[in-house]
């Protein structure tokens, strides 16, 4: 079939470092996963940023550095962090809500950033702004246009929930108009605000809703020349389950020094590592990595432990589908 998605296998030697420079943000998105009680309220210093990035630098491996927050452009030292990450050999991405504080576009340059990624949760203000905040759509789109005009490689992240699933198809013509070459479709995580959401609208879609909509929109976007990546979510009966915590290297760093390997665990003090006195230290006791190698019928053991309501069972008590590792992706290239 034309434009069929392929599963992107975990690549030996490839590493992803998701670096939260701070947890502060100018927005209050309804599905925000930041949990300041667990992640801290600190803003890292310039010295800490350099030292912590150096801990994970490895020129023998393909390493991706993704700067996050909160809103990372609120940090005045983000341009320094981008430049330093490049010097250390990282591929560099910044994930922004679109406000681009501290005049980021003129304080760094397109040759230092592999991607500048913008979060949009709707193809228009009517869909996006009830989720992300009044006026956010207009600001984000204006800054996407500015970034593209300056030569930055731009991507968009769309977090699917019941609130905006039906609007996803209308995102494609907007991305074409904005000349955005890359789209990440995300499934909303049941952590942070989403774990406590009092609204059914901003919550995970069902398996059938996901399968009926997301792959079809991804194919449509690919036909328009857009590279699309989205979570695998469900495994076919003949597909092997693999946990990124076992077969890949992913680190989620927070400003209080916690370092997780699995994003599902971030609401809990079970981080596998911590940065203490600028040293990466293995956590003691029962931590997230104690569970990664467990083999269960449901697939992802952390999903079973932390959000069991997402799993469907048949009348015999067997899972209808196994849940893949949340870091396993599918992609469709352009054309």
Identify the residue whose tokens are 């034309």.
2
* Range of weakest confidence among 70-79, 100-109, 160-169, 305-314: 305-314
Q: Which fold has domain 6-240+324-332?
A: TIM Barrel (3.20.20)
**Span 10-21, average pLDDT:** 86
Q: Are 226 and 334 in contact (CB under 8 A)?
A: yes
pLDDT digits (tens, 9 = 90+) for 264-274: 999 999 999 99
Sign of CA pseudo-dihedral 162, 165, 166, 167: positive
pLDDT at 1: 43
Element (H, E) at 17: strand 14-20
pLDDT digits (tens, 9 = 90+) for 153-205: 999 999 999 999 999 999 999 999 999 999 999 987 655 555 565 555 558 88
Cβ-based neighbours of 22, under 8 Å, separated by 6 or more = 42, 43, 44, 69, 70, 72, 74, 75, 255
Q: How confident is the model at residue 61 (pLDDT cuts 50, 70, 90)?
A: confident
Q: Are 23 and 69 in contact (CB under 8 A)?
A: yes
Domain ranges of the chain: 6-240+324-332
DSSP 27-72: ---TT----HHHH-S-B--HHHHHHHHHHH--TTSEEEEEEESS-G
pLDDT digits (tens, 9 = 90+) for 281-323: 999 999 999 999 999 999 999 999 988 888 889 999 999 889 9
Rg for the chain, CA atoms, rounded: 19
d(Cα 140, Cα 84) in Å, to the nearest integer?
26
0.75 surpassed by pTM? yes
Ramachandran area for residue 124 (φ above 0: left; ψ -120 to 50: alpha; else beta): beta
DSSP 157-173: EEEE-TTTGGGGGGHHH
């Amino acid at each position: 079939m034309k434009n069929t998605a392929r599963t992107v296998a975990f690549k030996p030697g490839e590493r992803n470092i998701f670096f939260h420079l701070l947890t502060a943000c100018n927005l209050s998105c309804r599905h925000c996963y930041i949990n300041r009680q667990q992640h801290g309220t600190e803003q890292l210093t310039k010295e800490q940023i350099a030292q912590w990035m150096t801990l994970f630098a490895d020129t023998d491996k393909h390493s991706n550095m993704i700067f996050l927050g909160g809103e990372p452009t609120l940090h005045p030292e983000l341009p320094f962090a981008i430049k330093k990450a490049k010097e250390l050999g990282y591929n560099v991405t910044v994930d922004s809500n679109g406000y681009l504080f501290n005049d980021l576009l003129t304080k760094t340059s397109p040759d230092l950033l592999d991607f500048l990624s913008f979060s949009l949760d709707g193809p228009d203000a009517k869909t996006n702004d009830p989720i992300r905040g009044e006026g956010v759509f207009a600001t984000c789109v204006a800054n996407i246009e500015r970034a593209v005009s300056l030569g930055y490689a731009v991507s968009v992240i769309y977090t699917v929930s019941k609130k905006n699933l039906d609007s996803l198809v209308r995102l494609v013509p907007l991305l074409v108009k904005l000349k955005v070459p890359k789209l990440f479709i995300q499934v909303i995580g049941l952590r942070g605000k989403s774990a406590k959401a009092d609204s059914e609208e901003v919550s995970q879609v069902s398996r059938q809703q996901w399968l009926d909509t997301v792959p079809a929109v991804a194919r449509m976007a690919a036909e328009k020349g857009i590279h699309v990546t989205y979570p695998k979510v469900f495994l076919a009966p003949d597909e092997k389950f693999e946990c990124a915590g076992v077969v890949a290297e992913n680190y989620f760093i927070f400003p209080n020094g916690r370092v997780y390997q699995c994003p599902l665990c971030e609401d809990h003090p079970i981080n596998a590592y911590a940065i203490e006195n600028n040293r990466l230290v293995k956590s003691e006791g029962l931590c997230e990595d104690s569970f990664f190698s467990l083999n269960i019928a449901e697939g992802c053991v952390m999903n079973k432990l932390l959000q069991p309501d997402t799993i469907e069972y048949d009348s015999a008590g067997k899972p209808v589908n196994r849940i893949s590792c949340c870091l396993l992706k599918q992609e469709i290239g352009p054309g």
